[in-house]
Structure 1
Amino acid sequence: MAENILEKLKQTILDFDEDAALDAANEALAAGVDPVEAVGALADGLNELGDKFERMEVFLPEIMLASDAFKNALSVLEPEIKKRNTEGQKAIPVVIGTVQGDVHQVGKDMVATFLTTAGFDVHDLGVDVAPSRFLEEAKKLDAKIIAAASLMSTTRPVQKDLIDFLEAKGVRDNFIVLVGGGVVTQEWADQIKADGYGQDAIATVEIAKKLLHVA
C-alpha cells in the first residue's frame, strides 16, 4: 500500500500534475505513510526530471510545472514534518533563497525541503534575493544559517557580494553561510570564504549539521 502511494507521488511529479500531487499527499498522510518518505518520493521525481533536463528530454516550462506540483504536495506534508521535528525542542532557524538576479528555484526548493525534513526551521525567501534582504531576515529570525543558491554563472558573484556585505556590516561571524547551485563548486566556496558548500540537497543538510554540531 505505502509503496503504491510513494510511486504515485513520484509519478505526479513526472506528469507535472499539481492536483494529483495534492491528492496523493493527502492520501499518503491518511494512509499513515511517513511524510519524510513521501517527500523523498517527490524528490526522486524531481531528480529524474533533472536528469532528463540535462539530456534535453524536457525543458524549463516542464520543470517549472513539476516544481509547482512539488510545492502543492509539500503544502500538505511539510506541516506534519515540522510538527514531528519540533515537538519538545526549538528548531534551528535557517534563511534560504536564490541570489539577486537569479529566478531559478527548483534546486533551492529541494534544499529547503530536505533541511525541513532534517528538523530545521526553514524560512524560504524565494528568488532574486538581495544581500541586504538575506541579512534583514536572518537578524529578524535570529537565524544561525544563511543559505544562498545560484544557478547561473552571471549571478554566482552575488554569493560573494553577500559575504562581503555581511563583513561590511560587521556581522559575518554571526552566521554560517552555505552556498550551492548548479554553477557553484567547492573551489568557489573556498575562494569567497563561505562556511560550507552543498553539492546537492543531502550534502547541504549534512554540512549544516556538521557546522552546527547537531546529530
Structure 2
Amino acid sequence: MEELFNKISDCVEFGKINKAAPYPPNMKDQDGADELTVQALEKGASAGDVLSKGLIVGMEKVGVKFRENKVFVPQVLMSAKAMNTAMEHLKPLFAEGNTDKKGVFIIGTVAGDLHDIGKNLVSMIVEGNGYEVIDLGTDVPAKKFIDTIAEFPDAIIGLSSLLTTTMASMENIVKEIKAVHPNQKVTIGGAPITQEFCDQIGADNFSADPQGVVEFMNKLKMSA
C-alpha cells in the first residue's frame, strides 16, 4: 500500500492527472492520480490515508518547490488538477463522515482589489494539504469575512492584496474582524505585503508564499 501512496504522491507532485494525460512526458501511458486513487480504495485504503499519505505529501512538495522557484504557476495548476481528480473519489467518503478535514480556511482578496491568482494558488495548496477552503472571491468587505466566521467559528482567515492602494483596506478589515472576534487568527499576503506591515496592522501571520500559510495553520493545529 505504501508503494501506491508514493505513486499517488508522485502524480500530484508532477501533475499526472490520469493515464490518458500526456503530461508529464516521462510518465506517459502510466496510471495517474485518478486510477491510482481508485486502486488504493479498492485495496482497502481509507480516504484519510489516501489524502494524508498520498495527496498531501505530493502537494507539500509542490508548495516547497513553488516557494523555491523550482516550479511555476502552470505546474501548480497541473498538480492541483491531479489532486482534484483524485479528490472526486474521496469526497463521497468524506461526506459520510469517515474522515475529518484538518480545519477550515476562509480566504478572500480584500475590498477594492480584483486580483485572484495569488489567492487561488494559496487556496489550492491549502486545500491540497487537507483543509476545507471557503473562497469568498475578490473585492471582499470586512462584513463578509465576519459573517462567514460566524458560520465557521474555528476557521482561520486569509487576506490577499496585490495593490499598494488596497493595503489600507486590508488594515481596516483586520481591525474590524478583531473588534468582533478578538481571538480570530488572520494570515495575510500579497506582493506589497511585508512582515513589518503585518505587525503594524495586528495580523497574526505574514506569508510570502502558499506553503508558509500551510505551515502557520499546521502550527496552530498542533498547539490547539
What is the CA-CA distance between 1:130 and the residue it aligns to?
0.6
What is the CA-CA distance between 1:129 and the residue it aligns to?
5.7
Stretches of 4+ moved more than 6 A in 1?
none
What is the CA-CA distance between 1:37 and the residue it aligns to?
1.2
> Closer, same or farther in 2 for the Cα pair 1:102/1:161, shift >3 Å?
farther
Q: Deviations over 1:26-48 (max 9, x none)?
A: 22333326231123332244236
What is the CA-CA distance between 1:97 and the residue it aligns to?
1.4
> Closer, same or farther in 2 for the Cα pair 1:47/1:75, shift >3 Å?
same
Q: How does 1:21-170 map to 2 (within 5 A)?
A: 21-31=33-43, 32=45, 34-35=49-50, 36-47=52-63, 49-50=65-66, 54-55=69-70, 58-77=71-90, 80=93, 83-86=97-100, 94-100=104-110, 101-103=114-116, 104=118, 105-114=120-129, 116=131, 122-125=132-135, 127-128=137-138, 130-131=140-141, 132-139=143-150, 141-150=151-160, 152=162, 154=164, 157=167, 158-166=169-177, 170=179
Gaps of 5+ in 2: 19-31
CA distance in 2, matches of 1:151, 1:67: 22
Gaps of 5+ in 1: 117-121
> Closer, same or farther in 2 for the Cα pair 1:156/1:206, shift >3 Å?
farther
Is residue 13 of structure 1 aligned with residue 27 of structure 2? Answer: no
CA distance in 2, matches of 1:23, 1:10: 13
CA distance in 2, matches of 1:8, 1:60: 22
Name 1:189's counterpart in structure 2: 198
What is the CA-CA distance between 1:197 and the residue it aligns to?
4.9
Q: State the aligned residue count.
A: 194
Asked if structure 1 preserves the Cα contact closer than 8 Å seen for 2:177 and 2:184, the reply is no
Secondary structure of 2:171's partner? helix
Percent of paired sites with the same residue: 18
CA distance in 1, matches of 2:103, 2:145: 13
> Closer, same or farther in 2 for the Cα pair 1:67/1:115, shift >3 Å?
closer
How does the TM-score come out when normalised to structure 1? Answer: 0.68
Asked if structure 2 preserves the Cα contact closer than 8 Å seen for 1:93 and 1:143, the reply is no
> RMSD across aligned C-alpha pairs, in angstroms?
3.5
Secondary structure of 1:194's partner? coil
CA distance in 2, matches of 1:77, 1:15: 20
Q: Deviations over 1:160-193 (max 9, x none)?
A: 24213436xx5142x5132044655544332211
